[in-house]
Structure 1
């Protein structure tokens, strides 16, 4: 009887939605202020193709989150019991009512099931439509918006509407109101005759307070050998046969050149010279092997992550997305930032690398809150399945991502133009591990290390004690009041060396720096820990942060010197314990190995 009544009610709602009254009762779903630094231009060409991504609610995400924390907490009986792909999809699936109502709405605009695609969990719908139809569906007008500084152009709107009866069945539709500009996290790439010499020549040793001995040359040039010495991993050999894998993401046409990788291996890890990586193209992503098109970011990420973990099987994901729109040419695609494209692909795979590093990010305030939350939820799904995700914390200190403090624009993007420290996304997502940066031996915080507090995400329980200790006991009372959200998710979580990395780029050696170096570095050591666990018959680490902020704290080198200036301030200071410059510190692999093998 109840089932029959439910079906009857649903039919009535669908019929009501399909009626002229149901469709005409439009209400604004989302609106934003005119974004700082963007200029509105002409109306979008009517035939311009827009790929809309429609997010349906995930009513049971709180249950998934509960599972995630249980399998990631080393003190919980379920630690390491990660969920299957199918179990995760079931937990994020929308209600049947939402699916049917959205189907009815799409049908009213002439779409059939074969005209769009769904994610495996059916929580995302992707369809490509001409701008004129998108305007009709969303009761809005799209314009060409141009970014003043870069000249990049996108098609966006400041608001869109949906039938009021659909608001609880659609979380968001993008790209509509999102003016994010995905950026590589990279500060410097420079050359000199001195830097082009071989990295193999030994020098005198630096004796650290923890008993570790590091070659003195590591103060000027960072190599794989330097990192293994500094982070106490000399002599550990990962297995190529225990199922462990490591992945690197590539965006914005950053190509990882195989000849550069071979030169790097010959220089720093000769045993790996004849090895390579698996290339995976997503959404038409390319990986040109024309040496002149090699990407410094992609070369850095793959050379150090894969060099540290050889012979662990490695994957480079190349995801296309967010090309500039050129009105006079009529570029056929205009996508939102491609994290969702990557997530759509990876979440659909049965096997995913246990460790993945990303060296790209946006200013958090440029990413609509509901969109950031849905992307973050996607990262949580991977964590629940046993994958550890590392993201660079950013290269602008407490500023807007610009590594030059003199040119930072630390203003809110909500029409108030208020001065504020600006967090980076996805580093601010509580379901990823954000990696800040250090420099020199002994280590100090590197000045550009991104760190601070999110405005979008509240502080997760796993870091409450560490962050409260910093706010109450390490930060002078009243300092920077109003410039940051003390209740927000704090980052970075950890750090690693972030400057003077010796790579090969377009056939020549040189030095590069940025948290785009620290993230793949830290990921490399996480992969080594995963190798140790898998060889011992244990599951991979998965979502790492609950471990890091509990028993894992004992496995880090605390960094207490340095700061991360920005926004016309000295920024935060590195202190004893966690701080928003270097997080918990840098890894001591031997200690961490003992910790992760004991849980």
Structure 2
């Protein structure tokens, strides 16, 4: 990937940096789907975030492996907030040099805000000053499909002596469009009925999914969790997706009466000017799906819905809004600042984008933030995506339109499209299944191999074995995927025809947006079991999962994940890049953990 960045820098059509500056990051052109319009108004405000180098991140990563790997002397001994912040704090020299640079450009230190570890600096400044600071030009870009607008640059420079001290400056070259992972193959939600016609729990879960179905399929039995153990399940929400409490209460009345009787309900925390409207017409299909199924499985464990603002990023006829379309950074800054006692033990996120739409430096930085959460004992789950290995189009689907599976590096070469943050090695990525007895891989289940992140040690033997046993993919898809990259998903769960209440109506939803809160709900129950038995919670799951945990999962061997006009990969015995290790069996997991594994 670094070679691609170097090529991009060479191709960046801009005057050479001014004296003392050199290119930090650049793109050869606007990514696919974006068109460059006019220069950005000089008065437009940017909320600029400067990420300073974290010189001891390698030590943090080593600690993450040690507290997450069964058999390690430190297994389960998660780090505290202060320990993590000490390991990611920049050198004093970095702080001094960056401060001096900002002051030299007329920015007083009093205008800055800093993260607790001082590894992020945030400041709000007009485009005109940002252009001078970064020796660049910002333009308005238009996304032709969605109609979104962004203020971005195709490249920026820094004083040469600061390259060793600054990781990333954003918003600059990030064109990611954070999207819910709800399957587009199914179109809009299917409306089942009004409130007057309440659907019963179906006799078969092959057609309609409810919490009772999931508890049956995943062997939860009559397990009852505690509401007072300190265990918290977190749900990340973005893009003004609002979780409606009235809808959720109605859902509980039908499918979890005990929760409704006890007044069980998620709480809400607002981040970066986030909102959570309770108007029925504003109820979000994604948000309601997340809270109703995370709560439906984890009851009575407290659930928190984090609503992070940051959309829309820019309105062309308004020259003064603040450009804050960096929701991951805002959310992570908020959560990482929490005391250890207030952190969720498990976190579900059903959003993501194509990996290539996120600049490499920014993707790495965000991924490293998830490593901090893992080191502090948080199990971080992400949906794997709903386009199979790319756009969800199989070899016979040309009639649905041209494939979008092309690189963004100026070559416009055919390529599978891994998803981010699903491709981050410090998160547990959840693919999709459907049917039961047995489960199949759902065709839209996102999966594949990262182009940004190399394969982590915890999964190398497993994935190497998979590729050795299926060498046909190396020749059939040569050049379309990176066989040495981080492979995903890690696990999977049901993701099709979920019954939920939205705006007072019963609807069906599909996507790995459903499988992620489902799996997270199961993890919450497992952590509850561990707490009740005086054991530490699982924290970062993957080292345990690949070492021993997979023995308690249901292997999925039927199905594939087409995309980019190919059949994608096949589900097969053992791990595969469609369903990972398969779906969880709560009873087997708790039995395994009771034996100390």
> What do the CA deviations read for 1:543-594 (whole angstroms, capped 9, x no partner)?
0000110110111100000000000001100000100000000011101112
Within the alignment, does 1:394 sit opposite 2:381 as a pair?
no
* Counterpart position of 2:274: 285
Count of matched residue positions in the alignment of Structure 1 and Structure 2 = 565
2:222 corresponding residue in structure 1: 235
- The answer for unaligned runs of 5 or more in structure 1 is 1-21, 204-215
Instruction: Answer yes or no: is the 8 Å Cα contact 1:93–1:123 preserved in 2.
Output: yes
User: Tell me, what secondary structure is at the counterpart of 2:250?
Assistant: helix
Aligned residue in 1 for 2:10: none
User: Secondary structure of 1:66's match?
Assistant: helix
- Could you tell which deviates more after superposition, 281-290 or 461-470? 461-470
Name the SS for the 2:128 alignment partner: helix
Structure 1 residue 29 displacement after superposition: 1.0
- The corresponding residue for 1:360 is 351
Match of 2:115 in 1: 119
Q: Does 1:136 align with 2:136?
A: no
Equivalent position to 2:292, from 303, 312, 320? 303
TM-score by length of 2: 0.92
Residues 542 and 574 (structure 1), Cα distance of their counterparts in 2 relative to 1, 3 Å cut: same
Q: In 2, distance between residues paired with 1:532 and 1:175?
A: 42
Alpha-carbon distance in 1 for matches of 2:416, 2:116: 38
Structure 1 residue aligned with 2:13? none
Pair 195,447 (structure 1): closer, same or farther in 2 beyond 3 Å: farther
Question: Residue 180 of structure 1 contacts residue 337 of structure 1 at CA under 8 Å; is this kept in 2?
Answer: no
1:262 corresponds in structure 2 to 249
- Which SS does the other structure have where 2:389 is aligned? coil
Q: Partner residue of 2:326?
A: 337
Verify: 1:584 aligned to 2:581, yes or no.
Answer: yes
2: CA distance, partners of 1:304 / 1:397: 23
Q: Which of 150, 153, 157 is equivalent to 2:153?
A: 157
Q: Distance in 1 between matches of 2:137 and 2:192?
A: 55
Write the deviation string for residues 59-84 of structure 1: whole angstroms up to 9, x where unpaired.
00000000000000012111100000
Report the equivalent of 2:6.
none
| Aligned-pair CA distance for 1:148 | 1.5
Is residue 85 from structure 1 mapped to residue 81 from structure 2 by the alignment? yes
Matches within 5 A, 1:126-525: 126-187=122-183, 188=186, 189-193=188-192, 198-201=198-201, 203=203, 216=204, 218-273=205-260, 274-330=263-319, 332-350=321-339, 351-400=342-391, 406-407=400-401, 408-441=403-436, 442-476=438-472, 478-525=475-522
Change (3 A) 1:553 1:392: same
What residue number does 2:21 align with? Answer: 26
The change in CA–CA distance for 1:359 and 1:193 in structure 2 (over 3 A counts) is closer
- Measure the CA separation in 2 of the matches of 1:222 and 1:306: 15
- Aligned equivalents of 1:479, 1:266: Cα separation in 2: 51
- CA contact under 8 A between 2:193 and 2:506: conserved in structure 1? no
Separation of aligned partners in 2, 1:262 and 1:358 = 22
- Which residue number corresponds to residue 57 of structure 1? 53
CA distance in 2, matches of 1:352, 1:153: 34
Q: Confirm or deny: 8 A CA contact 2:393 2:562 kept in the other structure.
A: no
Measure, in 2, the Cα distance between the counterparts of 1:473 and 1:258: 49
Deviation at 1:401, TM superposition (A): 7.1
Q: Distance in 2 between matches of 1:549 and 1:363?
A: 25
* Partners of 1:130 and 1:142 in 2: CA distance: 11
Question: What secondary structure sits across from 1:502 in the alignment?
Answer: strand
**Aligned to 2:50, what secondary structure does the other structure show?**
strand
> Counterpart of 1:244 in 2: which secondary structure?
coil
Shift of the alpha carbon at 1:194? 7.4
Determine the structure 2 residue equivalent to 1:10.
none
Write the distance in 2 (CA, Å) between the matches of 1:198 and 1:468. 49
- Measured after TM superposition, the shift of residue 37 of structure 1 is 1.6
Query: 1:6 — aligned with what?
Result: none
Choose 315-324 or 475-484, whichever is displaced more: 475-484
Could you tell me which residue of structure 1 aligns to residue 531 of structure 2? 534
**Range moving further from structure 2, 534-543 or 402-411:** 402-411
- Equivalent residue number for residue 207 of structure 1: none
**Structure 2 gap segments, 5+ residues each:** 1-16
Question: For the Cα contact (< 8 Å) 1:436–1:515, is it kept in 2?
Answer: yes
Question: What is the CA-CA distance between 1:475 and the residue it aligns to?
Answer: 4.5
Q: Give, in whole Å, the separation in 2 of the partners of 1:584 and 1:89.
A: 33
Secondary structure at the counterpart of residue 219 of structure 1: coil
Residue of structure 2 equivalent to 1:8? none
CA distance in 2, matches of 1:23, 1:263: 62
